[in-house]
Structure 1
């Protein structure tokens, strides 16, 4: 493949990264094999010496930074590095591939990647230091994302990586949520959705494998009924109350709202009233404001424990405000998976909760 920098120019100069067209579209009739790889996995193809230096540090900050609010350190993505000279047909079929190089690197590993760029392409990059990436869909397999990250020199590449860290991270976060959505929401629970509509006035989308654990006016709890050694115990709950003041959206008040809900409804052991769930205050919760479906939303990533210290885990929650309805919604997914990685379960929770429509009305849903 000779990389076409005209595509790169369109992507980066116009700054329309997420809306850009890839250099090859998906083709359901393609004779290429299907891409393979677990959710959240990235194959990073790079010279080992470069990865051990400043370029590697910049890449780690993007793809291997810790998830906030966790009891244990867990990276955002599962990154596996591969020497370009060791690439096999199987590795080229990976779902997420990132090639990283600089054109001044004369090492044999980087030269393997550099050989894929034409002389004209390299000259164009030399004349425009803002060019640093190229996305190609389905290059070696169907359903694949291939990203080339490059620079004339290491300092130039590092500068571009730091400037565009959030975009690069978001590219794979959105992509992996999309992949996961297709897998887990192919069959949805109509029972849970109908209960949410009737009880809370919202529309939710949860997999059919989730069952209703508790439903009371203004509150709904659903969970996976059969967690296993290879499957986390995931619970989701949904709550609604009146929105009366902006102060309700302050971080300290969000935690109070959250803990008042779990203190009343969520117990590690329903037979033990002291086992109600609270936020783990020793781990600093992380808050992020956003807008979802025109509704002001605050995301919370934090850890939880039972009041009697018998259980604990991590959680991801969203406080959503519908000013037109005058309602505040708090929706959350929490994980119980002792001594195991929570990243995949949290990504599942995120995928499900972001499909919640708090602005739903009977007229619209009819």
Structure 2
């Protein structure tokens, strides 16, 4: 009998310990990609503050043929935040208080998570704080959403050996993509879905040919149009891919995993055809292998929103790591 009570007490203690351990574990964030929760009273949301939030965080995405918001926004009154823990990756909390304040809390309710607290004495104070800090907030949210997509991609990856052997580059391409064309310095991968497809291109050219160029925006467009003329065509003759001239591409200098790169976002079309869609292109100045390494994603989905399709392609491209030469 004494042995039975000892076992009972031990089992009860074990259950209690497990429950305690589980409750202390950080909650994992969930939710759709590119979604923000805004915790704000209805009165403020329906006024100037809400307008400011929508203008910044639901602004049109650069490089898409149709207007789509940067993020989807879900608004909730403040009492809901005080009543339960939310597990959204990005939360903006806005309150009127006696102190003007902007604060970022990492993993406050779940992980990974960014919670942005904005408070002010007046509506004008809150709007000013929002305007001043919006670029940093958007950058942090975008980076977190890219990381979330990359985590999803890691669940099932395409065999990396072909890309690694051909381009000395490790890149996390999820299964679903297949190789549709392979050349000496060029690869084309595509994923088909109902209503369209997404494509990933990798190609390289000697860096010495472009090192002295100053007009990189024109050079990138010229290079991608030449690749389109060589490899990417429609079913009819003379329907090669070109950069659409009606919309000036967005161009910027950036860093991609410590390498200088040029980012180009715009619209492609098939010459003498009606097919078109958005593209994102990174031209990486790779001094390790003395080459210009191009990573590009584009999609064709005439009846679908394209923001999240392009986001997936961007997350794949930004996972790329150049494999260093062995000494």
- Give the TM-score taking structure 2 as reference length: 0.84
Tell me if the contact between 2:150 and 2:319 (Cα under 8 Å) persists in the aligned partners. no
Gapped runs of 5+ residues in structure 2? 1-20
Instruction: Provide the C-alpha distance between the structure 1 equivalents of 2:26 and 2:163, rounded to a whole number of angstroms.
Output: 43
Q: CA deviation at 1:341?
A: 1.0
Aligned residues: 305
Asked if 1:61 is matched to 2:55, the reply is yes
Q: Which residue of 1 aligns with 2:168?
A: 201
Q: What whole-Å deviation, never above 9, does each CA across 1:20-43 have from its counterpart, x for those lacking one?
A: xxxxxxx97646765431111112
**CA pair 264-147 structure 1, distance change in 2 beyond 3 A:** same
Q: CA RMSD in A?
A: 2.6
User: Residue 65 of structure 1 aligns to a residue in which SS?
Assistant: coil
Q: Which residue of 2 aligns with 1:246?
A: 212
- Comparing 233-242 with 288-297, which one deviates more in the overlay? 288-297
**CA pair 35-259 structure 1, distance change in 2 beyond 3 A:** same
Q: Which residue of 2 aligns with 1:342?
A: 306
Q: Could you tell me which of 62, 65, 73 is aligned with 2:67? A: 73
Q: Which residue of 1 aligns with 2:274?
A: 310
User: Residue 316 of structure 2 aligns to a residue in which SS?
Assistant: helix
**CA pair 32-250 structure 1, distance change in 2 beyond 3 A:** closer
Instruction: Provide the C-alpha distance between the structure 2 equivalents of 1:89 and 1:273, rounded to a whole number of angstroms.
Output: 63
User: Residue 223 of structure 2 aligns to a residue in which SS?
Assistant: helix
Asked if 1:154 is matched to 2:120, the reply is no
User: Residue 198 of structure 2 aligns to a residue in which SS?
Assistant: strand
Instruction: Provide the C-alpha distance between the structure 2 equivalents of 1:206 and 1:75, rounded to a whole number of angstroms.
Output: 26
**CA pair 282-34 structure 1, distance change in 2 beyond 3 A:** same
Q: CA deviation at 1:276?
A: 1.5
Q: Which residue of 1 aligns with 2:40?
A: 46
Higher strand share: 2
Q: CA deviation at 1:138?
A: 4.6
Instruction: Provide the C-alpha distance between the structure 2 equivalents of 1:31 and 1:195, rounded to a whole number of angstroms.
Output: 40
Q: Could you tell me which of 135, 155, 160 is aligned with 1:166? A: 135
Q: CA deviation at 1:324?
A: 4.1
* Structure whose CA Rg is larger: 2
Q: What whole-Å deviation, never above 9, does each CA across 1:47-70 have from its counterpart, x for those lacking one?
A: 333233332233223311111122
User: Residue 275 of structure 1 aligns to a residue in which SS?
Assistant: coil
**CA pair 234-90 structure 1, distance change in 2 beyond 3 A:** farther
Q: CA deviation at 1:181?
A: 0.9
Tell me if the contact between 1:36 and 1:94 (Cα under 8 Å) persists in the aligned partners. yes
User: Residue 38 of structure 1 aligns to a residue in which SS?
Assistant: coil
- Comparing 176-185 with 90-99, which one deviates more in the overlay? 90-99
Q: Could you tell me which of 137, 141, 153 is aligned with 2:107? A: 137
- Comparing 215-224 with 46-55, which one deviates more in the overlay? 46-55
**CA pair 215-337 structure 1, distance change in 2 beyond 3 A:** same
Q: Which residue of 2 aligns with 1:24?
A: none
User: Residue 325 of structure 1 aligns to a residue in which SS?
Assistant: coil
Q: What whole-Å deviation, never above 9, does each CA across 1:201-234 have from its counterpart, x for those lacking one?
A: 333221122111111011011111x3125xx511
Q: CA deviation at 1:85?
A: 5.1
Q: Which residue of 2 aligns with 1:11?
A: none
Q: Which residue of 2 aligns with 1:363?
A: 326
